[in-house]
Structure 1
Amino acid sequence: MGALPQEMHDAIHQVSSVAIQQIGFVIHHLTRIPNAGDRAAARQNVVPLLDSLLNTSLQSLGSDVPQHDSTQCTICFEGYEESDAIVVLPCHPTHHFHRSCIHDWLQTLAPAPPTCPNCRARIHFQNPPNHPPQ
């Protein structure tokens, strides 16, 4: 048996390089898959995060949130009722949602960073307006 022709040798090398890149890609993404503990810990932070944001009612929405253009939640598309708890996100005063809707949204994202469903801005803990920093 003779040596492989140069073209065959080059083709094998090229296929090997692509395979190595693909294996590296798979390994990289597999190591980024969160474990159940990470997900549970992130989900536990949702309620404190929501508590740190502006929580209001339909009656107060107009005065708490200037420029509001809608009285409906853009997650469920239902209008707010007087008894609804409404959360306003810090990214924009018109980004407000039923507390239960934004809670469920943030739960589905965990353990990824919490983001606004409208603009995808990252949501950070805030000092509620009625609670000064300690």
Structure 2
Amino acid sequence: DRLTKPIAMDDLVAYAALWSGRDARPCREVPDLGALFDQYDRDAARMPQVLQQYRREFANWHITLLEALETGDPEALGRVRHQLRPHWQLLGLGEGLELLDALEAEGPGVQAVQDVFRCCDRAFLSELRRLTAVPGA
């Protein structure tokens, strides 16, 4: 996320609340990590690596998606949709999938899909923080 100057206090507070886990806005849907954890038998020792891998993959797909939209490449857009679909389904992001399917190069859908990516990263980071917390720290 980026804040551009001049920074409005409301924007700063909203970003801090989102990334600190205090507020889920602008998340329309909160990713459900339960099915992902089930795929790995809820192995707490393994989940931090899985979450880091998901963070990397989602970041790469986000970049690929933005590049496909920027160049207007329908084949690249179709490929990234195909790559994202099973993962967003696994995370219970039905509305996100609808937004992704309706996505065009310009319009409000681009920001809404970016919000889905942001909310996924927030969920991954929040769970990583929980899994790697040191008791009493």
Output the TM-score relative to the length of structure 2.
Answer: 0.28
Greater fraction helix: 2
Greater fraction strand: 1
Output the TM-score relative to the length of structure 1.
Answer: 0.28
